[in-house]
Each structure stands twice: as structure tokens, then as C-alpha cells.
């Protein structure tokens, strides 16, 4: 009986070790499931959209979509989530909605994604963010420039907002860190010790000094709502939190996110964002929007 127990323990140890080794070896494939196929901005069917190439500080070439703003309108430097590329249907839909009122857009395709060279990593994505910011700041100025992060991209936006001059920052479905998200998925693995790209927004958000908007669905099954709530609590700048009772991970625009984004931008540029504000979009209201 003891021998059987020892054999079972040994088998478990081997299986566990192989599983952990696999997660370590393929961790970047899991975190960055990039679609590297070249994409053409014409698929977005957005009037005035330009497709440009940006060069990073380490020599990578990035594909970016640019929509110049109407006079006196803001510009969003957009950092997408980890899946697909800029041409995903839900992403194109949000671009159309974001620029419909004349707001400008600089949406960068990270290295290894959608026509951009290189391979993604945390350090690489931050360099990509810096390249997108430099382009936008030089072309459009910084007074009306907002960083917009979607899911994984919130980590890029948080760091950019802590280090560069911006008017404000918008975070959609943010996390405390990618390591903490992964720990919730793999509670039996010492993720914080093994993960290379941890995007520690929790350690950086307190350095942001411009107005911040956080949007998070309370039914988010990818990045738990508690992450956005906790990140909001760690921030010290003037900020607004909009929670969507029926919202998931990528459907907040279906639940009325755009008016909250537009209002935040207008209030920020008018100097009307102060202190903290928490807003709830109830399920009944959302149901009426579908």
C-alpha cells in the first residue's frame, strides 16, 4: 500500500512538473495569442483613416491606424487587448463609435501583431506604446491626448500615463497585474515567481497625475471585476469608475460605454473631473440598449 502511494505521489509530481514546465515555456504564446497576418486599414471603413508605419526605439516597424481629429477634439492613443489584431470585428466597431463625434485615433498594432515586426513581450509593448505616443504627440500635441487601454493594453496605458504628458487616461477592463490574473486561473502554480511579463499596474497607477476613467463589467469572465475596483482604489488622481452590472469583457460598448467615455473626455478638457466618482449602469438600462 505504501509503495502504491509513493508511486502515485511520484506520478503526480512528474505530471505537475511537466504541466508547470509547459506553462513556463509557452507562457508568451498564452499571454500574446497574436494574429500576425498583415491587415489593411480599409477593412475598418472609417472615413479619413490613414495607415502608417511607426518605428520603435529598438528598430521594430509597427502598423498603426490613424484618424485625424476634427478641430478642438481629443485624440485617443489606443492600446488593444491580447487577442487577434486591430481588425477584429468588435474592435473595428468600437473604433467607429469612438471617432463618430470627431475624436481622433492612433491605434497601434503591437510588435508581432497585424503587420508589425518583432515578437511581443512586456518590455516590447512598452516600447511600442512609447512610439505611438511620440507620433501622436508630435503630430497632434499633448493638450488633448488621452491614452486608452483595452484589457491587456491597460498595462501599457497605465505606464504611459505615469511617464508621459497626457490629458487623461481611459482603462477598459483593467487588471492589477497579469500575474494576479494568471494566479486566479492557475492557483496551483507559483505564477509570480515564474511569469516573465507581469505588467504591474498596481505598482504604477499611484504615479498617474491626470484624470482617469475606468470601465469594467461586473460579469467579466476574463479579468475579474475586483481587479478594476482595486486598481481604482490604488489610484490617487481625480478619477471616475463606471461599472456595468450586466457587462462582460468585450461588450461594454453594447451596454452604453461610449457616452461615458465622451462625457469623461469633455469633463476632463473642461477641468470638471475632481475627486472620485463611482457610477453604476444597471441591468435594466443595459437591457434597453440591446
Percent of the chain with pLDDT over 90: 80
Whether residue 78 is found in the same domain as residue 209 = yes
Is the pLDDT assigned to residue 21 strictly greater than 80? no
Closest CA to 181 of 217, 214, 228: 228
Across the range 185-199, mean pLDDT stands at 87
**In which band, very low, low, confident or very high, does the pLDDT at 14 lie, cut at 50, 70 and 90?**
low
Q: How far apart are CA 98 and CA 104, in angstroms?
A: 8
Cα–Cα distance for residue pair 224/227, rounded to 1 Å: 6
**Domain enclosing residue 26, as ranges:** 1-31
Quick one: average pLDDT of 180-191? 89
DSSP state of 114: T
pLDDT at 287: 42
What pTM did the predictor assign? 0.92
How many domains are there within the chain?
A: 2
Are 118 and 104 contained in the same domain?
yes
pLDDT in tens, 79-127: 999 999 999 999 999 999 999 999 999 999 999 999 999 999 999 999 9
Does 95 share its domain with 171? yes
Beta bridge partners of 54: 62
pLDDT at residue 289 greater than cutoff 70: no
Q: Are residues 132 and 234 in the same domain?
A: yes
**Same-domain status, 258 and 157:** yes
Tens digit of each residue's pLDDT (9 = 90 or more) over 22-37: 555 657 877 898 888 8
Question: Are 260 and 245 members of one domain?
Answer: yes
The pLDDT value given to residue 286: 44
Q: Are residues 89 and 23 in the same domain?
A: no
Are 17 and 110 part of one and the same domain?
Answer: no
What's the pLDDT band for 219 if we cut at 50, 70, 90?
Answer: very high
Q: What CATH number corresponds to the domain at position 229? A: 3.40.50.1820
pLDDT digits (tens, 9 = 90+) for 275-286: 999 999 998 644
Q: Which residue has the higher pLDDT, 188 or 70?
A: 70
Tell me: do 7 and 81 sit in the same domain.
Answer: no
Decide: 84 and 35 in contact? Cβ < 8 Å.
Answer: yes
Strand positions, DSSP E, 192-234:
212-217
Average pLDDT over the chain reads 91
Q: Are 51 and 18 members of one domain?
A: no
Query: In the chain, how many H helices and how many E strands?
Result: 11, 9
- The reply to whether 222 and 264 lie within a common domain is yes
Q: Do 168 and 152 have their domain in common?
A: yes
For 37-43, what is the mean pLDDT? Answer: 90
Residue 91's closest CA among 251, 265, 242, 260?
A: 251
pLDDT (mean) for 74-78: 99
In the predicted structure, residue 135 carries a pLDDT above the cut 60 = yes
Amino acid at each position: 500500500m505504501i509503495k502504491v502511494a509513493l508511486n502515485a505521489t511520484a506520478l503526480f509530481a512528474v505530471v505537475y512538473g511537466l504541466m508547470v514546465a509547459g506553462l513556463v515555456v509557452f507562457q508568451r504564446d498564452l499571454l500574446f495569442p497574436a494574429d500576425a497576418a498583415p491587415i489593411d486599414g480599409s477593412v475598418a471603413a472609417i472615413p479619413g483613416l490613414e495607415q502608417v508605419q511607426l518605428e520603435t526605439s529598438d528598430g521594430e516597424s509597427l502598423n498603426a491606424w490613424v484618424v485625424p481629429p476634427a478641430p478642438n477634439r481629443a485624440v485617443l492613443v489606443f492600446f488593444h487587448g491580447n487577442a487577434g489584431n486591430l481588425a477584429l470585428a468588435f474592435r473595428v466597431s468600437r473604433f467607429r463609435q469612438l471617432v463618430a463625434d470627431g475624436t481622433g485615433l492612433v491605434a497601434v498594432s503591437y510588435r508581432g501583431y497585424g503587420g508589425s515586426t518583432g515578437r511581443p513581450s512586456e518590455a516590447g509593448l512598452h516600447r511600442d506604446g512609447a512610439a505611438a505616443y511620440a507620433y501622436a504627440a508630435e503630430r497632434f500635441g499633448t493638450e488633448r491626448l488621452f491614452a486608452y487601454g483595452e484589457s491587456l493594453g491597460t498595462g501599457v496605458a497605465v505606464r504611459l500615463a505615469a511617464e508621459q504628458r497626457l490629458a487623461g487616461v481611459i482603462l477598459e477592463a483593467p487588471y492589477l497585474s497579469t500575474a494576479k490574473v494568471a494566479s486566479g486561473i492557475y492557483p496551483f502554480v507559483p505564477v509570480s515567481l515564474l511569469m516573465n511579463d507581469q505588467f504591474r499596474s498596481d505598482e504604477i497607477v499611484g504615479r498617474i497625475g491626470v484624470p482617469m476613467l475606468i470601465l469594467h463589467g461586473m460579469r467579466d469572465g476574463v479579468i475579474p471585476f475586483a481587479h478594476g475596483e482595486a486598481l481604482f482604489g490604488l489610484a490617487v488622481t481625480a478619477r471616475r469608475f463606471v461599472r456595468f452590472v450586466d457587462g462582460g469583457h468585450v461588450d461594454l460598448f453594447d451596454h452604453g460605454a461610449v457616452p461615458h467615455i465622451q462625457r469623461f473626455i469633455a469633463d476632463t478638457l473642461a477641468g470638471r473631473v475632481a475627486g472620485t466618482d463611482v457610477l453604476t449602469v444597471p441591468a435594466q438600462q443595459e437591457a434597453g440598449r440591446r
